[in-house]
Amino acid sequence: MSADLATAASLPGRRRAPRKPGAATRWKLRGPLLPALAIVILLTQIPLLVTLYYSLFSRNLLRPGSTEFVGLDNYAKVFTDGLFRNAVLNTVVLTAGTVLFSIVCGTALAVLLDKKFFGRSIVRTLLITPFLVMPTAAALLWKTSMFNAVFGMLNWVLSPFGVEDIDWVSQFPMASVILVLTWQWTPFMMLIVLAGLQSQSPEVLEAARVDGAGGWATFWQITMPHLRQFIELAILLGSIFIVQTFDAIFMITQGGPGQATTNLPYFIYQQTFRAFDVGESAAAGVIVVVATIVIATFALRVISRLFREEG
């Protein structure tokens, strides 16, 4: 054995394979991570298990002592509840509308910032600012300063076009919420698309110009295929976050008028803290978690494919 090792060491160009650390060494390396792992399990998995437990019971906080095991009845009630289906529809409209408008605006701004011009760094910082504002503060700012029918800036800006005294929150509640979320999430989309633009090979663009391709043809036939996966990533990650929107709904419309802007997170809030129906709200929460996991799975696949191709 020793002779073989000596022979292998003496051969030029051959290296010894790295020795695998023993079990004790591996646990010594993993040890500092265990507290963080325990905290993650404590804060995420235990609440999920408790939610699953409550979703199997009929439990209303207004009727103490009436708790009983009902199995999957809460899930059946949720799926047959017209208000839940309305919340699902509102969530789809809110998420799709916000993602669509923010990805279009984000892509346009990313193309602008990819060009060199005086003050580009200042413009980029200003465009990122909406994403740094707290969602609750942003929603309150839009409600009081922008959408107000009497002194709102939106009516003032549109007054030269004959638009006056519109109560945006009451007359166009869903559009108002989508406008606020688009303003807030456009920087997120812009940064991801900008990263894709700046990773594009300049040699390819130069070759296209040498071949006589115009600006639009170069962008549509070369840049857009390169950006496709970055845009997919932005859409999927944005969808995961926007589907959980609660702050804007609570601060601007309170889910109304009626149920016009009640999305799934606000529906669960209403069931828990206004109807005090813990069982049905827990079942709705489990359904939302499962739907979010499905979306996240697609997002992770896109990210993995993106990194494989970049590597």
Q: Find out whether 183 and 242 touch, Cβ atoms under 8 Å.
A: no
**What phi and psi values does residue 109 have, to the nearest 5 degrees?**
-70, -35
In whole angstroms, give the CA distance from residue 126 to residue 114.
15
Q: Report the pLDDT averaged over residues 18-28.
A: 76
Angle between the 278-310 and 264-273 helix axes, to the nearest 10 degrees?
A: 150
pLDDT tens for residues 102-140?
999 999 999 998 888 888 889 888 999 988 889 899 999
Q: Find out whether 107 and 193 touch, Cβ atoms under 8 Å.
A: yes
Q: Find out whether 234 and 258 touch, Cβ atoms under 8 Å.
A: no
186 pLDDT band, cuts 50/70/90, is very high
pLDDT tens for residues 134-153?
989 999 999 888 888 888 88
Identify the three-state secondary structure at position 200.
coil
Contacts of 87 (CB under 8 A, 6+ apart): 259, 262, 263, 264, 266, 267
pLDDT tens for residues 151-184?
888 888 888 887 778 888 888 999 999 999 999 9
Instruction: Provide the CATH number for the domain formed by 68-307 in this structure.
Output: 1.10.3720.10
pLDDT of 5 reads 46
pLDDT of 108 reads 92
pTM here is 0.79
